[in-house]
Chain A
Amino acid sequence: MPLLTTIHENRRAQIVLGLLVGIVFGIFLQKGGVTNYSVIVNQLLLTDFTVMKLMLSAVIVAMIGFHVLKHYGYVHLHAAKGSIGANVIGGLIFGIGFALLGFCPGTVAGAVGSGAMDALFGGMAGIVIGTGIFAEIYPRLKTGLLKQGPFPAVTVQEFLHLPLWIMIAIMEVAMIGFLVVLYYLGF
Protein backbone atom coordinates (compact mmCIF):
# COMPACT_ATOMS: atom_id res chain seq x y z
CA MET A 1 0.00 0.00 0.00
CA PRO A 2 1.74 3.23 -1.15
CA LEU A 3 -0.20 5.40 1.35
CA LEU A 4 0.84 3.21 4.28
CA THR A 5 4.48 3.15 3.12
CA THR A 6 4.44 6.96 2.95
CA ILE A 7 3.15 7.10 6.55
CA HIS A 8 5.75 4.55 7.71
CA GLU A 9 8.58 6.57 6.17
CA ASN A 10 7.46 9.98 7.46
CA ARG A 11 9.37 10.47 10.72
CA ARG A 12 7.20 13.31 11.99
CA ALA A 13 3.98 11.42 11.24
CA GLN A 14 5.37 8.40 13.12
CA ILE A 15 6.14 10.52 16.21
CA VAL A 16 2.66 12.06 16.24
CA LEU A 17 0.86 8.76 15.55
CA GLY A 18 2.95 6.95 18.19
CA LEU A 19 1.97 9.57 20.75
CA LEU A 20 -1.72 9.33 19.77
CA VAL A 21 -1.77 5.52 19.91
CA GLY A 22 0.01 5.75 23.29
CA ILE A 23 -2.60 8.20 24.64
CA VAL A 24 -5.51 5.97 23.62
CA PHE A 25 -3.64 2.94 25.00
CA GLY A 26 -3.21 4.79 28.32
CA ILE A 27 -6.93 5.58 28.45
CA PHE A 28 -7.84 1.92 27.81
CA LEU A 29 -5.34 0.66 30.42
CA GLN A 30 -6.62 3.10 33.06
CA LYS A 31 -10.30 2.46 32.28
CA GLY A 32 -9.65 -1.28 32.16
CA GLY A 33 -8.40 -1.09 35.76
CA VAL A 34 -4.92 -2.49 35.10
CA THR A 35 -3.03 0.64 36.15
CA ASN A 36 -4.03 -0.31 39.69
CA TYR A 37 -1.37 -2.18 41.73
CA SER A 38 -3.84 -4.44 43.57
CA VAL A 39 -5.59 -5.51 40.33
CA ILE A 40 -2.31 -6.82 38.88
CA VAL A 41 -1.06 -8.42 42.10
CA ASN A 42 -4.44 -10.08 42.68
CA GLN A 43 -4.26 -11.49 39.15
CA LEU A 44 -0.87 -13.01 40.03
CA LEU A 45 -2.41 -14.34 43.28
CA LEU A 46 -5.25 -15.76 41.11
CA THR A 47 -7.99 -13.97 43.05
CA ASP A 48 -8.96 -11.36 40.39
CA PHE A 49 -8.92 -12.11 36.66
CA THR A 50 -9.25 -8.57 35.25
CA VAL A 51 -5.79 -8.70 33.62
CA MET A 52 -6.58 -12.04 31.96
CA LYS A 53 -9.99 -10.79 30.72
CA LEU A 54 -8.46 -7.63 29.29
CA MET A 55 -5.53 -9.38 27.61
CA LEU A 56 -7.57 -12.22 26.13
CA SER A 57 -10.20 -9.77 24.81
CA ALA A 58 -7.40 -7.82 23.13
CA VAL A 59 -5.91 -10.96 21.56
CA ILE A 60 -9.35 -12.26 20.48
CA VAL A 61 -9.85 -9.04 18.48
CA ALA A 62 -6.25 -8.53 17.28
CA MET A 63 -5.70 -12.13 16.14
CA ILE A 64 -8.58 -11.90 13.64
CA GLY A 65 -7.83 -8.27 12.76
CA PHE A 66 -4.13 -8.89 12.14
CA HIS A 67 -4.66 -11.96 9.97
CA VAL A 68 -7.42 -10.37 7.86
CA LEU A 69 -5.18 -7.32 7.26
CA LYS A 70 -2.26 -9.64 6.49
CA HIS A 71 -4.40 -11.65 4.05
CA TYR A 72 -5.02 -8.45 2.05
CA GLY A 73 -1.34 -7.45 2.25
CA TYR A 74 -1.75 -4.41 4.54
CA VAL A 75 0.48 -5.72 7.36
CA HIS A 76 3.46 -8.07 7.70
CA LEU A 77 4.39 -10.76 10.20
CA HIS A 78 6.82 -9.49 12.88
CA ALA A 79 7.79 -12.67 14.67
CA ALA A 80 11.18 -14.21 15.39
CA LYS A 81 12.01 -17.84 16.05
CA GLY A 82 13.13 -17.45 19.68
CA SER A 83 14.74 -19.95 22.02
CA ILE A 84 14.55 -21.39 25.54
CA GLY A 85 17.64 -19.36 26.52
CA ALA A 86 16.06 -16.08 25.38
CA ASN A 87 12.31 -16.45 25.83
CA VAL A 88 11.94 -18.84 28.78
CA ILE A 89 14.79 -17.42 30.89
CA GLY A 90 14.01 -13.80 29.96
CA GLY A 91 10.29 -14.43 30.56
CA LEU A 92 10.91 -15.85 34.04
CA ILE A 93 13.24 -12.94 35.03
CA PHE A 94 10.49 -10.59 33.81
CA GLY A 95 7.89 -12.51 35.83
CA ILE A 96 9.83 -12.05 39.09
CA GLY A 97 10.08 -8.31 38.41
CA PHE A 98 6.38 -8.22 37.41
CA ALA A 99 5.36 -9.49 40.88
CA LEU A 100 7.87 -7.36 42.84
CA LEU A 101 6.87 -4.14 41.10
CA GLY A 102 3.20 -5.01 40.53
CA PHE A 103 3.28 -3.54 37.01
CA CYS A 104 4.71 -4.30 33.57
CA PRO A 105 6.45 -1.73 31.30
CA GLY A 106 3.15 -0.44 29.84
CA THR A 107 0.97 -0.46 32.95
CA VAL A 108 3.78 1.15 34.99
CA ALA A 109 3.52 4.21 32.72
CA GLY A 110 -0.26 4.20 33.16
CA ALA A 111 0.18 3.93 36.93
CA VAL A 112 2.50 6.97 36.87
CA GLY A 113 -0.24 8.86 34.99
CA SER A 114 -2.72 7.88 37.71
CA GLY A 115 -0.40 9.19 40.45
CA ALA A 116 1.57 6.13 41.63
CA MET A 117 4.92 7.52 42.79
CA ASP A 118 6.47 4.09 43.48
CA ALA A 119 5.78 3.32 39.79
CA LEU A 120 7.73 6.43 38.77
CA PHE A 121 10.72 6.50 41.14
CA GLY A 122 10.93 2.74 41.64
CA GLY A 123 9.41 1.15 38.56
CA MET A 124 10.26 3.35 35.59
CA ALA A 125 13.73 4.18 36.96
CA GLY A 126 14.38 0.49 37.52
CA ILE A 127 13.33 -0.51 34.00
CA VAL A 128 15.74 2.06 32.53
CA ILE A 129 18.55 0.65 34.71
CA GLY A 130 17.67 -2.97 33.88
CA THR A 131 17.63 -2.19 30.17
CA GLY A 132 21.12 -0.67 30.51
CA ILE A 133 22.37 -3.82 32.26
CA PHE A 134 21.06 -5.90 29.36
CA ALA A 135 22.77 -3.63 26.81
CA GLU A 136 26.09 -4.14 28.68
CA ILE A 137 25.88 -7.94 28.82
CA TYR A 138 24.28 -8.35 25.37
CA PRO A 139 27.53 -9.03 23.44
CA ARG A 140 28.27 -12.04 25.70
CA LEU A 141 24.65 -13.31 25.82
CA LYS A 142 24.13 -12.98 22.09
CA THR A 143 26.40 -15.84 21.10
CA GLY A 144 25.78 -17.90 24.25
CA LEU A 145 22.65 -18.24 26.34
CA LEU A 146 20.29 -16.42 23.93
CA LYS A 147 21.02 -19.06 21.28
CA GLN A 148 20.45 -22.09 23.57
CA GLY A 149 17.53 -24.41 22.72
CA PRO A 150 16.09 -22.75 19.61
CA PHE A 151 12.34 -23.23 19.13
CA PRO A 152 11.26 -25.53 16.28
CA ALA A 153 8.99 -23.03 14.50
CA VAL A 154 8.15 -19.33 14.15
CA THR A 155 4.37 -19.71 14.40
CA VAL A 156 2.09 -22.06 16.29
CA GLN A 157 0.36 -23.32 13.12
CA GLU A 158 3.77 -24.12 11.65
CA PHE A 159 4.67 -26.04 14.83
CA LEU A 160 1.41 -28.04 14.79
CA HIS A 161 1.29 -28.38 10.97
CA LEU A 162 -2.21 -26.89 10.82
CA PRO A 163 -3.68 -24.55 8.19
CA LEU A 164 -3.69 -20.90 9.36
CA TRP A 165 -7.47 -20.36 9.48
CA ILE A 166 -8.08 -23.64 11.34
CA MET A 167 -5.42 -22.58 13.88
CA ILE A 168 -7.09 -19.18 14.32
CA ALA A 169 -10.50 -20.84 14.80
CA ILE A 170 -9.09 -23.20 17.46
CA MET A 171 -7.37 -20.34 19.33
CA GLU A 172 -10.46 -18.11 19.21
CA VAL A 173 -12.73 -20.87 20.50
CA ALA A 174 -10.20 -21.71 23.26
CA MET A 175 -9.86 -18.07 24.39
CA ILE A 176 -13.61 -17.34 24.31
CA GLY A 177 -14.24 -20.67 26.04
CA PHE A 178 -11.75 -19.78 28.78
CA LEU A 179 -13.48 -16.44 29.40
CA VAL A 180 -16.91 -18.13 29.52
CA VAL A 181 -15.61 -20.71 32.04
CA LEU A 182 -14.11 -17.91 34.20
CA TYR A 183 -17.48 -16.15 34.12
CA TYR A 184 -19.40 -19.24 35.20
CA LEU A 185 -16.87 -19.95 37.95
CA GLY A 186 -17.86 -16.54 39.34
CA PHE A 187 -14.65 -14.57 38.58
Chain B
Amino acid sequence: MFDYLTQPVWSPYIAGAGIGVLVCLSFLLADRPLGCSSAFVKARGLLERTFNAEGEKKNEYYQQMHPNIDWSFMIIPGVIIGAFVSAVLSGQFHLVWVPPMWGNTFGYNTAIRWFWALLGGILLGLGARWAGGCTSGHGLSGSSQLSFASIVTAICFFAGGIVTAMVIFRVIGGL
Protein backbone atom coordinates (compact mmCIF):
# COMPACT_ATOMS: atom_id res chain seq x y z
CA MET B 1 0.00 0.00 0.00
CA PHE B 2 2.70 2.48 1.06
CA ASP B 3 4.80 1.53 -1.98
CA TYR B 4 1.98 2.70 -4.19
CA LEU B 5 1.82 6.06 -2.43
CA THR B 6 5.54 6.73 -2.98
CA GLN B 7 5.41 6.01 -6.73
CA PRO B 8 5.62 9.24 -8.76
CA VAL B 9 2.80 8.30 -11.17
CA TRP B 10 0.24 5.59 -11.64
CA SER B 11 -1.21 4.40 -14.88
CA PRO B 12 -3.93 6.93 -15.81
CA TYR B 13 -6.31 3.97 -16.31
CA ILE B 14 -5.88 2.91 -12.66
CA ALA B 15 -6.15 6.46 -11.28
CA GLY B 16 -9.18 7.04 -13.53
CA ALA B 17 -10.91 3.83 -12.42
CA GLY B 18 -10.37 4.93 -8.80
CA ILE B 19 -12.00 8.29 -9.59
CA GLY B 20 -14.91 6.37 -11.15
CA VAL B 21 -15.42 4.59 -7.82
CA LEU B 22 -15.37 7.99 -6.03
CA VAL B 23 -18.07 9.30 -8.40
CA CYS B 24 -20.29 6.36 -7.36
CA LEU B 25 -19.46 6.90 -3.67
CA SER B 26 -20.52 10.56 -3.93
CA PHE B 27 -23.93 9.60 -5.24
CA LEU B 28 -24.22 6.92 -2.56
CA LEU B 29 -22.92 8.81 0.49
CA ALA B 30 -23.96 12.39 -0.30
CA ASP B 31 -26.72 11.99 -2.89
CA ARG B 32 -24.73 14.47 -4.99
CA PRO B 33 -22.53 14.38 -8.07
CA LEU B 34 -18.77 14.62 -7.44
CA GLY B 35 -18.12 18.21 -8.51
CA CYS B 36 -15.54 20.89 -7.82
CA SER B 37 -16.96 24.21 -8.99
CA SER B 38 -19.79 24.51 -6.43
CA ALA B 39 -17.14 24.72 -3.67
CA PHE B 40 -16.00 27.98 -5.29
CA VAL B 41 -19.56 29.37 -5.31
CA LYS B 42 -19.87 28.52 -1.62
CA ALA B 43 -16.50 30.16 -0.86
CA ARG B 44 -17.50 33.26 -2.87
CA GLY B 45 -20.90 33.40 -1.15
CA LEU B 46 -19.33 33.07 2.31
CA LEU B 47 -16.91 35.91 1.47
CA GLU B 48 -19.86 38.02 0.32
CA ARG B 49 -21.71 37.20 3.55
CA THR B 50 -18.69 38.32 5.60
CA PHE B 51 -18.20 41.65 3.83
CA ASN B 52 -21.65 42.42 2.45
CA ALA B 53 -24.25 40.38 4.33
CA GLU B 54 -27.20 42.30 2.86
CA GLY B 55 -25.96 41.79 -0.69
CA GLU B 56 -25.44 38.07 -0.13
CA LYS B 57 -28.94 37.64 1.31
CA LYS B 58 -30.51 39.51 -1.62
CA ASN B 59 -28.54 37.74 -4.37
CA GLU B 60 -30.74 35.23 -6.16
CA TYR B 61 -27.86 32.90 -7.07
CA TYR B 62 -26.60 32.56 -3.49
CA GLN B 63 -30.18 31.99 -2.29
CA GLN B 64 -30.27 29.05 -4.66
CA MET B 65 -26.76 27.69 -3.95
CA HIS B 66 -26.82 27.93 -0.11
CA PRO B 67 -23.22 29.01 0.65
CA ASN B 68 -22.30 26.82 3.63
CA ILE B 69 -19.49 24.61 4.81
CA ASP B 70 -20.87 21.27 3.59
CA TRP B 71 -19.95 18.21 1.51
CA SER B 72 -19.34 20.08 -1.73
CA PHE B 73 -17.32 22.84 -0.01
CA MET B 74 -15.02 20.28 1.66
CA ILE B 75 -14.04 18.59 -1.62
CA ILE B 76 -11.59 21.39 -2.51
CA PRO B 77 -9.62 21.50 0.80
CA GLY B 78 -9.63 17.69 0.54
CA VAL B 79 -8.13 17.71 -2.97
CA ILE B 80 -5.42 20.18 -1.86
CA ILE B 81 -4.50 17.98 1.13
CA GLY B 82 -4.65 14.72 -0.86
CA ALA B 83 -2.51 16.06 -3.70
CA PHE B 84 -0.06 17.58 -1.20
CA VAL B 85 0.37 14.30 0.71
CA SER B 86 0.64 12.35 -2.54
CA ALA B 87 3.18 14.79 -4.03
CA VAL B 88 5.32 14.90 -0.87
CA LEU B 89 5.35 11.09 -0.47
CA SER B 90 6.57 10.63 -4.03
CA GLY B 91 9.08 13.51 -3.95
CA GLN B 92 7.03 15.44 -6.51
CA PHE B 93 6.29 18.51 -4.37
CA HIS B 94 8.06 21.53 -5.86
CA LEU B 95 7.21 25.21 -5.47
CA VAL B 96 6.57 26.41 -9.02
CA TRP B 97 5.99 30.10 -9.79
CA VAL B 98 5.76 29.75 -13.58
CA PRO B 99 5.17 26.32 -15.21
CA PRO B 100 8.21 25.35 -17.34
CA MET B 101 6.16 24.80 -20.50
CA TRP B 102 4.76 28.34 -20.26
CA GLY B 103 8.16 29.76 -19.21
CA ASN B 104 10.01 28.18 -22.13
CA THR B 105 7.49 29.64 -24.58
CA PHE B 106 6.61 33.05 -23.10
CA GLY B 107 9.37 33.69 -20.55
CA TYR B 108 9.59 33.28 -16.78
CA ASN B 109 8.01 36.61 -15.81
CA THR B 110 5.83 35.69 -12.80
CA ALA B 111 3.51 38.72 -13.11
CA ILE B 112 2.71 37.96 -16.76
CA ARG B 113 1.98 34.27 -16.07
CA TRP B 114 -0.16 35.09 -13.04
CA PHE B 115 -2.11 37.69 -15.02
CA TRP B 116 -3.05 35.11 -17.68
CA ALA B 117 -3.71 32.44 -15.03
CA LEU B 118 -6.02 34.88 -13.21
CA LEU B 119 -7.87 35.69 -16.43
CA GLY B 120 -8.14 31.95 -17.17
CA GLY B 121 -9.46 31.33 -13.66
CA ILE B 122 -12.09 34.08 -14.04
CA LEU B 123 -13.33 32.53 -17.31
CA LEU B 124 -13.31 29.05 -15.72
CA GLY B 125 -15.38 30.20 -12.75
CA LEU B 126 -17.78 32.13 -14.97
CA GLY B 127 -18.09 29.33 -17.54
CA ALA B 128 -18.47 26.55 -14.94
CA ARG B 129 -21.40 28.29 -13.25
CA TRP B 130 -22.88 29.34 -16.61
CA ALA B 131 -22.87 25.69 -17.74
CA GLY B 132 -23.83 24.41 -14.28
CA GLY B 133 -20.72 22.34 -13.61
CA CYS B 134 -17.08 21.66 -14.43
CA THR B 135 -14.91 18.82 -15.72
CA SER B 136 -15.90 16.66 -12.74
CA GLY B 137 -19.56 17.68 -12.34
CA HIS B 138 -20.40 17.43 -16.05
CA GLY B 139 -17.41 15.59 -17.54
CA LEU B 140 -17.35 12.72 -15.04
CA SER B 141 -20.52 12.63 -12.91
CA GLY B 142 -22.92 13.92 -15.57
CA SER B 143 -21.55 11.81 -18.43
CA SER B 144 -21.66 8.70 -16.23
CA GLN B 145 -25.38 9.34 -15.70
CA LEU B 146 -25.75 9.59 -19.50
CA SER B 147 -26.92 13.20 -19.13
CA PHE B 148 -27.34 14.72 -22.59
CA ALA B 149 -26.50 18.25 -21.37
CA SER B 150 -23.38 17.03 -19.53
CA ILE B 151 -21.97 15.21 -22.55
CA VAL B 152 -22.56 18.28 -24.77
CA THR B 153 -20.95 20.49 -22.11
CA ALA B 154 -17.88 18.25 -21.78
CA ILE B 155 -17.41 18.32 -25.58
CA CYS B 156 -17.60 22.15 -25.46
CA PHE B 157 -15.02 22.32 -22.63
CA PHE B 158 -12.54 20.45 -24.80
CA ALA B 159 -13.53 22.15 -28.08
CA GLY B 160 -12.99 25.61 -26.51
CA GLY B 161 -9.83 24.40 -24.76
CA ILE B 162 -8.26 22.79 -27.84
CA VAL B 163 -8.86 25.84 -30.08
CA THR B 164 -7.57 28.27 -27.41
CA ALA B 165 -4.48 26.14 -26.61
CA MET B 166 -3.65 25.83 -30.32
CA VAL B 167 -3.92 29.63 -30.71
CA ILE B 168 -1.80 30.30 -27.60
CA PHE B 169 0.98 27.76 -28.17
CA ARG B 170 1.00 27.03 -31.90
CA VAL B 171 -0.03 30.37 -33.45
CA ILE B 172 1.32 32.88 -30.89
CA GLY B 173 3.98 30.74 -29.18
CA GLY B 174 5.20 29.07 -32.38
CA LEU B 175 5.63 25.77 -30.51
Contact = CB atoms under 8 A, between A and B. Distances in A.
A91 B152 contact: yes
Contact of A45 (B59, B93, B166): B166
Contact of B20 (A4, A18, A59, A139): A59
B26 to A, nearest CB: 6
Contacts of A153: 148
Interface string B31-50: 11110110111011101100
A156 B144 CA distance: 11
A71 interface: no
Contacts of A126: 117-125
A22 B136 CA distance: 12
Contacts of A127: 37, 40, 121-122, 124-125, 128
Nearest to B167: A99
A93 B29 contact: no
B82 A30 contact: yes
A117 B97 contact: yes
A13 to B, nearest CB: 9
A156 B97 contact: no
B82 A134 contact: no
A171 B117 contact: no
Interface in A69-108: 69, 74-83, 86-102, 104-108
Chain A interface residue count: which class? 35 or more
A138 interface: yes
> Per DSSP, are chain B's interface residues mostly helix, strand or loop, or mixed?
helix
Interface in A31-60: 31-35, 37-38, 41-42, 44-46, 50, 53-60
A185 interface: no
Interface string B122-152: 1111111111101110111111111111111
B29 A21 contact: yes
B24 to A, nearest CB: 4
A157 interface: yes
A29 B34 CA distance: 14
Interface string B65-82: 000011111111111111
A156 B148 contact: yes
A127 B123 CA distance: 7
Contacts of B47: 128
A33 B12 contact: yes
A93 B130 contact: yes
Contact of A37 (B20, B37, B101): B101
A66 interface: yes
Interface string A103-144: 011111111111111110111111111111111101101100
A132 B48 contact: yes
Given A19-B74, A57-B17, A108-B124, 16 more contacts: A4-B31, A14-B71, A21-B30, A32-B12, A33-B12, A37-B96, A56-B16, A57-B20, A62-B141, A92-B127, A97-B125, A100-B119, A107-B135, A110-B79, A113-B82, A128-B47
14 contacts: A21-B30, A25-B75, A28-B19, A41-B101, A45-B162, A63-B146, A76-B27, A78-B27, A94-B131, A95-B156, A114-B84, A123-B121, A135-B61, A152-B148
Closest 7 CB pairs of A and B: A22-B78, A95-B160, A126-B121, A26-B82, A82-B149, A130-B125, A122-B117
